[in-house]
Amino acid sequence: MLGYALRRLVLAIPLLIGITFVSFLVIHLAPGEPVENQMGETSTQSDRELRERLKEIYGLDKPLHVQYWSWLTRLVRLDFGRSFSPDARPVLQKIGERLPVTLLLNIVEMMVIVVLAIPIGVLSATRQYSRFDKVTTIFVFVGFATPDFWLALMLMILFGVQLGWLPISGLRSPTWEYLSFWQQQWDFVAHLALPILVATFGGLAGFSRYMRQSMLEVIRQDYIQSARAKGLPERMVIAKHALRNALLPIVTVLGLSLPGLIGGSVIVESIFAIPGMGQLMVQAVFERDYPVIMGNLVIVASLTLVANLIADLTYSLVDPRIRVAARRGRR
Amino acid sequence: MSRPVPLRLLGLLLLLAVAGCGGEADSAVDLASGQATGKPAYGDTYIEALQGNISGLIPNVLSDGPSFEVGSLIYNGLVKYDKDLNLVGELAQSWQYSRDCLDLTFKLRPNVRWHDNQPFTAADVIFTYETMINPKTPTAYGGDFKAVESVVAPDPYTVHVRYKHPSAKALQSWSIWMLPKHLLESYAREGKLREAPQNRANPVGTGPYRFSEWKPGEKVVLVANSDYFEGRPYISRVVYRIIPSSATTFLELKAKGVDGAKLTALQFKRQTEYPAFRKAYTKYQYAANVYVYLGLNLRDPRFADRRVRQAFAHAINKRELIDGVRLGLAREATGPYKPGTWQYNPNVRTYPYDLAQARALLADAGWTEKDPDGVLLKNGQPFKFELLTAQGSDEGRKVAEIIQASLKDLGVNVEIRVIEWAALLKEYIKKRNFEAMILAWGITPDPDQFDIWHSSKTSPDELNRIGYANPEVDGLLEKGRSTCVEAERKQYYDRLQVVLAEDQPIVFLYFRDGLPVVSSRVRGIVPAPIGIQYNFNEWFVPKQLHRYTAG
């Protein structure tokens, strides 16, 4: 097991380098230059010297392979470089200050989704075509089909403007510094309520449908029949025998959504004015801020590879059939 | 060749370009009746919505609107533009030009202190100058100082500048933000001002507000500088909240989460005309420092013919365009200068909507036949071209569509293509690989537009993108920038406008209006040609109306 994990990790390194190489190439080949985008569309500035100076500072005057090599050698030392944006701050710092809020939002969102989606999925599967099944099906698909930004605006109007219960946007009130400790915590939670609600509503459909499907498959299996034949109460059959098996595919899906946790939703972040990863990335792309784009990419790519590995490993942990098959295969 | 824009105004201007707020105020739409009442009082917090994150805190090495807006409260220049766009002293008490425009002597205000309590002296002025001309400094404003021969300080409160040749914009280049020598010297020498810690936190200036906090992407907080040389500002705390979505900003206004913001035309016209909003906010409307134009590639023989351009100008109903695109919130442009400024010349040829005239002009230019579809022909070639506009600007697309319909009436077939800005710039504009485009130019308080119209400015990176070349215009531009006497300059620029209006190198469409809104509890706002922000340190909230007691 350990050997297998190590082998996978070592193999991931060339893969990672390959990913970064292709992305580096693609990003640099996209039209537009970081230097250019520091000046606005209507700007009548044409200081050619500044442009040359910036190119030199950023190393853009060198051939692409030289740029890539110097970027890669710095990366090995975990130096992600400095942003091309005029704040010239280290990329890791910029990502570091945006990551916590995005992680928090996404983890809470994920937990809420899982907590809601599993019972919804199980209930709709066990009561397939019942009224509950139909109502939740409609509900989750409405959620799936509702545009984030529209829902967000409607909720903002209702809870922020009409009722005045919740703040509309941002992370903290302007008077945050002057609130007591508990008021501050409440203030923060109140600011996150709507964004989490919006993000959850949209994500619920996929997960609950997965769960329903998985459950439907499992309850048609013979061993469920035998469990029932043994005279086990239906609750035991579902909760103990069916659910555990039905959760297997969910584990994979969850594992694969791990890298997604650090990518913010651009729409939700922009509309709620939350300074997260999504906004950082979009701005970086518009500004052609290569170091920030690449930095984020490396992190996401590494996480994806690791998540794949973890998903594979946990799968064999939770599913005895795979373990057995693997052992037999080796023999 | 570089940008002679006074930084502070450039800031304003970029801001306008981005958010659409702006310069001249010839009408305050709605002056709350309470505006004049109430006694000035210290205190309260003012919360302004910014659409974009600021990129740093040393504006001399930055170029985005939000950074300039924040920076303008932290820093000062030697001179500044007053409300009527005249240069007046700020950190300089007075100045004197020699008769030949070659020597400029500033007397500095004594007893000005940096936010860290160090005295501001001529050494800081020289330091700022040296930083700006240091080839390692990544600034776009170094060119302003190229004509300088030497800067010396005979005593700590006198600065003497000698120029190599007379330069019209010598004085206004000293509106550049002064930087503290004692803190930034080592960074400036290395050309690393952007990396300096003051660009990220605790910038030190001489301005009315001190830095308090910057949470990237979230907010910037400033607090009143009680030692400000013009007196302590009334509003004791300013919070800039970064809200990217204009819909969210609008809802925050409704919920009183922000005190000041810029509205879109739709919001201004249709969504804020109900009593509760009018009571809570005061709306302002000015011609912003941005005009939208139809650019034609003059290298194309069809567009090289002036009559074709004039025909287009006659065929586009500007009033209808403004009503359709900006809900009427814009002013017709007759040239590249804004009405109401000293350089503006109203006596130029105008192009009223007149299809018959347009047809006659096209016929003169040889476009006499029509194909079965009604498209004009010349030597068997149909008159059709591609009109480019940048993605993301709904405005550009709408303008393009209206022009497409207008020119169709003439028998000219227009195809619209919307392209992302970076790609548009690199693949089409720089390579001069376009037929026509809808774009906008920002303008500055100084009338020098050498970079845009001079025939020497046509290389790929330069701004005479359409390839305009007119020897008379070249001469006027050269003369206009090489004297420091305003009356003389006025003659040249008056003539320039006459020629440009006749030539229509681009079809001038309209000056957008800036549409800011401010909480009506804030008093002391006096709209002026320069906008409303210029006297921010005199804004106040009467004691009984304070909303935020903390601070």
A39 touches chain B (CB under 8 A): yes
pLDDT reading at A141 higher than 60: yes
Q: What is the pLDDT of residue A140?
A: 84
* Alpha helices per DSSP H over B29-155: 65-74, 122-133
Question: Average pLDDT of chain B?
Answer: 88
Nearest to B290 among A31, A42, A171 (CB): A42
For chain B, give the percent of residues with pLDDT over 70: 93
Give the gap in angstroms from C-alpha B218 to the nearest C-alpha of chain A.
Answer: 6
Q: Which of residues 222-251 of A touch B (CB under 8 A)?
A: none
d(CA A190, CA A169): 10
Q: Token pair of A53, please?
A: 């100076």
Query: What residues of chain B lie within 8 A of the CB of A276, using their CB?
Result: 217
pLDDT reading at A86 higher than 60: yes
Q: Token pair of A30, please?
A: 């996209």
Interface test with A, best of B63, B145, B289, B444 (most A CBs within 10 A): B63
Pairing state of beta strands B436-442 and B384-390?
A: parallel
pLDDT reading at B333 higher than 80: yes
Q: Token pair of B247, please?
A: 């819909």
Residue A328 binned pLDDT confidence (cut-offs 50, 70, 90) = low
Q: What is the pLDDT of residue B115?
A: 96
Q: What is the pLDDT of residue B364?
A: 92
* Alpha helices per DSSP H over B327-374: 355-364
pLDDT reading at B503 higher than 90: yes
Query: What residues of chain A lie within 8 A of the CB of B257, using their CB?
Result: 160, 167-170, 174
- Average pLDDT score over residue span B9-29: 36
Nearest to B56 among A39, A87, A94 (CB): A87
- Average pLDDT score over residue span B101-109: 94
Q: What is the pLDDT of residue B550?
A: 55
Q: How does pLDDT run across A96-125, given as a tens digit for each residue? A: 989 889 989 988 998 999 899 888 988 888
Q: Which residue has the higher pLDDT, B361 or A12?
A: B361
Q: What is the pTM of this model?
A: 0.85
The answer to whether the CB atoms of B138 and A57 lie below 8 A apart is yes
Are B391 and B418 in contact by the 8 Å Cβ rule? The answer is: yes
- Average pLDDT score over residue span A52-64: 82
Residue A327 binned pLDDT confidence (cut-offs 50, 70, 90) = low
Query: What residues of chain B lie within 8 A of the CB of A157, using their CB?
Result: 251
Nearest to A171 among B218, B427, B463 (CB): B218
Reported as half-sphere exposure (CB side, CA atoms, 13 A), residue B79 has a value of 21
Q: What is the pLDDT of residue B483?
A: 85
The answer to which of A37-46, A283-292, B11-20, B484-493 has the lowest mean pLDDT is B11-20
- Average pLDDT score over residue span A32-42: 64
Q: Tell me, what amino acid is at A25?
A: L
The answer to whether the CB atoms of B422 and A30 lie below 8 A apart is yes
| Helix, strand, coil share of chain A (percent; to 5) | 75, 0, 20
Q: What is the pLDDT of residue B3?
A: 33
The answer to which of A219-223, B120-124, B275-279 has the lowest mean pLDDT is A219-223
Q: How does pLDDT run across B521-540, given as a tens digit for each residue? A: 999 998 888 888 889 999 99
pLDDT reading at B6 higher than 50: no
Give the gap in angstroms from C-alpha B377 to the nearest C-alpha of chain A.
Answer: 35
pLDDT reading at B31 higher than 50: no
Q: What is the pLDDT of residue B339?
A: 87
Q: What is the pLDDT of residue B542?
A: 92
Q: What is the pLDDT of residue B370?
A: 87
Residue B33 binned pLDDT confidence (cut-offs 50, 70, 90) = very low
Q: What is the pLDDT of residue B196?
A: 92
Q: Which residue has the higher pLDDT, A169 or A241?
A: A169
**Terminal-residue alpha carbon distance, chain A:** 15
Q: Token pair of B226, please?
A: 């009680």
Which residue in chain A has the smallest CA separation from B2? Answer: A47
The answer to whether the CB atoms of B243 and A288 lie below 8 A apart is no
Q: What is the pLDDT of residue B308?
A: 94
pLDDT reading at A191 higher than 90: yes
For chain A, give the percent of residues with pLDDT over 90: 14
In this prediction the ipTM stands at 0.84
Q: Which residue has the higher pLDDT, B10 or B255?
A: B255
d(CA A186, CA A172): 10
